[in-house]
Amino acid sequence: MNKLSIIRSNISALANLHGKKSKLDNLPTYFWLEPTNNCNLKCVMCPTGMDMLEVDKGFMDFDLYKKIIDEIKNYTSAVTLAVSGESLYHPKFFEMARYAADSGIKPLLNTNATMLTPNKAEMLLDSGITFISFAFDGFKKSQYEKARVGADFDKTLGNIINFLELKKSKGKDLPYTVLSILMLGLEECSEEEKREFLARFDGLIDEIRVREVSTWGSSFKNSDNFSFRQNSLYYPPCSRLWSTGVISWDGTVLPCIYDSNHELAMGNVKEQSFADIWNGDSMLKLRNSMLDGTFLKYSPLCENCIVLGTPPIMGIPSGIRLTIADSITNVFGYGFERMALLLANKLRKGNFTSKTVN
Ligand SMILES: C[S@@+](CC[C@H](N)C(=O)[O-])C[C@H]1O[C@@H](n2cnc3c(N)ncnc32)[C@H](O)[C@@H]1O
Ligand code: SF4
């Protein structure tokens, strides 16, 4: 798919959203595919880690994965290979990334990096992955290990630094690397401790982002596991339903990455094409509930969701900025995302969901 068509498709998504259309002539340019919903950690802010999944757990079959990529490559720019689990657990993760890259789709990864051995670091660098977000929620050992239960601060940090040094020694520009730190409020940390920690990444990482934690749809809406912002207002419709696709390890199409329990399953790509599901009755009903304001009755999952609780900027809703930024990144590179994030934070006057700190 060429870069211009991806931009055009995003403009159509925005026009369909503002035109209050529920049946869409655009398909998503950005997908989340779930290699697995299994995980080795017990993170306090994650339904997978907190054993809240009531659906079967498993690993996506490689033939199913290829079938999905073969369909969506005609209209997709990027695919994040992670939803509710740790993707480096999947025995064919590197083949999955390579298959997407060879099909003209940028494969992206979110990982906890606990399994990123030196051998896997080599394989990851050669897999065609263009973007990695390393989840590392804390500036010091006690803070990190309270959030990422089961992970060892020094070992995981060592894995990440080793990967970054390897990338540097090979002179590679890609993957673009981000250290993602969720602000969970589990433990205080001094400015000096923060500075000391961040200095370890000097000259190695492309970007460090601190991020506001979400209630993962409604999963943690009443939880005291961590501190979070309550939605004082909602800003429907959720633009992700107009712009992004989510497919779980067993082929179930979900409206949203936060639907870890498949409460709003829209269909299955083993039985239907993604394009048919995208404009199927269930998707249309959900989009209509967003347009007429009845979404909380139709989709309790949306209660207190961070995407719906974040105001639009210049008429562009929070959810769709991801795909718009991605499509512009195709032309100007990942540096653009950093600039866009800096600009968005300026316009938000200090309120942020994600903020660059280096
Ligand atoms: C569910 S994880 C799956 C990928 C991988 N296991 C990891 O931890 O990065 C995907 C992303 O969700 C983030 N995440 C987990 N719980 C969250 C929450 N309650 N609010 C916001 N982000 C969350 C993680 O930091 C990570 O960036
Ligand atoms: S946030 Fe990632 S690493 Fe932590 S439990 Fe969830 S899926 Fe696993």
User: Is 247 within 8 Å of 34 (Cβ atoms)?
Assistant: yes
Mean pLDDT confidence for 111-117: 98
Q: Which ligand 2 atom is nearest residue 40's CA? A: 8
Contact residues of ligand 1, CB 6 A cut-off: 39, 45-46, 82, 84, 86, 110-112, 133, 135, 180, 182, 213-214, 216
- Sequence-separated (6 or more) residues with CB below 8 Å from residue 222: none
Give per-residue pLDDT as tens, 259-271: 999 999 999 999 9
Mean pLDDT confidence for 247-270: 97
Closest ligand to residue 210's CA: 1
Residues 2 and 7: their CA atoms lie apart, in Å, by 9
Give per-residue pLDDT as tens, 37-93: 999 999 999 999 999 999 999 999 999 999 999 999 999 999 999 999 999 999 999
The pLDDT of residue 177 is above 80: yes
As a whole number, the mean pLDDT across the chain is 94
Q: Is the pTM of this model over 0.85?
A: yes
